[in-house]
Amino acid sequence: MSERTFFTIRYALPGYTFILITILVAYPKLMDLFFQIRIPQNVEFIAAFLAFFSLLGGGAIGFLVSQVWYLIYNWILPAKYKLNKARKLLEDAYGLIDNFNRQTIFLDYVVHHSNKEILTYMQRRFDLLHTLGSTLFAIFFGSLFGFLVRIDCFRTDITLEKAINSLSSLKLGMPELTTFDLGAIFIIVLFSILFFFSFMYVRKEHAMMVEVAVQNVIVSGIFPPSKARRVFTKDYFRKRTHIPKFV
C-alpha cells in the first residue's frame, strides 16, 4: 500500500465514522427539518449542515478528530499506560532518570537501531493503534455533536438563553426514547465496545514489539551505554560513578 493511500485510509476511517454517527444521532431532527423545509431558518440550517460535511469530507474531518485524539493520548493519558515496561528496560540498562519525556525520546532513538523487520511490524501496530483510538474518539465526539444538532444548539435563530434552557429541560426527567433512539444507542455502544477492545489488544501488541526492539538493541550491543552518554546530554542520566552493566 502506498503512503498516500495509507494516510487517506488512516484519516478517512475516523472522519466518516464521525459523519455517520452524527447523522445517526441527529437523523430524527434532520427529517423534521426536511419536512418543514419551507421555513427560511430551516433552509439555512440544512444548507449549512450539508455544506459543512461536503467541504470537509471524511479525510479532512478525520485529520481534525485525530489531532484531538493525539492531544488526549500524549498529554492526558497517564504515563503508566505508555510503554512503561520498555522504558523500565532502558532505565535499568542505561541509567536513565525517571522522566517520561526524556525516556520517550531516548526510547524512540534506541528502537530505530533495531532490525528492519521488527521496526516494520512495530510501525504497523503503532499506526493501527492510533487509527483505532481516533475512531473510538470519533464515535464519542460524533454522538455529542449529533446530540447538539438534535436539540437545535446550532440553529441561527436560537439564542444562548434558549440553548441553555433546552439543555436544562433535559434534566427534569427521563426523555421519551423511541425505537430509533434505542437502536442508535445500541449501535453506538456496540461499536464503542468493539473499538475499545481492539484498541487495547493492539496497544498490548505494540508495547510487546517495542520491548522486543529494545531488548534486541541491548543484547546485540549496537548502542552501548558509553555511546549513549556521548550522544545524549547528561540530564538524561542518573548521576553515577560507573556506567550501568550492559548485557
Q: What is the pLDDT of residues 211-247, one digit of tens each?
A: 999 998 998 888 888 899 899 988 899 876 455 555 5
How far is it, in rounded angstroms, from Cα 195 to Cα 129? 10
Residue 26: pLDDT band by 50, 70, 90 thresholds? Answer: confident
The pLDDT of 6-11, averaged and rounded, is 65
| Cβ-contact 59, 12 below 8 angstroms | yes
CA distances from 198 to 109, 178, 194, 203 (A): 28, 30, 6, 8
How big, in percent rounded to 5, are the helix, strand and coil portions of the chain?
80, 0, 20
Give the rounded percent of residues in the chain with a pLDDT score beyond 70: 70
| Cβ-contact 32, 104 below 8 angstroms | no
Q: What is the pLDDT of residues 109-119, one digit of tens each?
A: 999 888 888 88
The ranges assigned to domains in the chain are 3-236
The answer on pLDDT for 50 being more than 80 is no
Round the average pLDDT of the chain to a whole number and report it.
80
Q: Against a cut of 0.85, is the pTM above it? A: no
Residue 132: pLDDT band by 50, 70, 90 thresholds? Answer: very high
Higher pLDDT, 102 or 158: 102
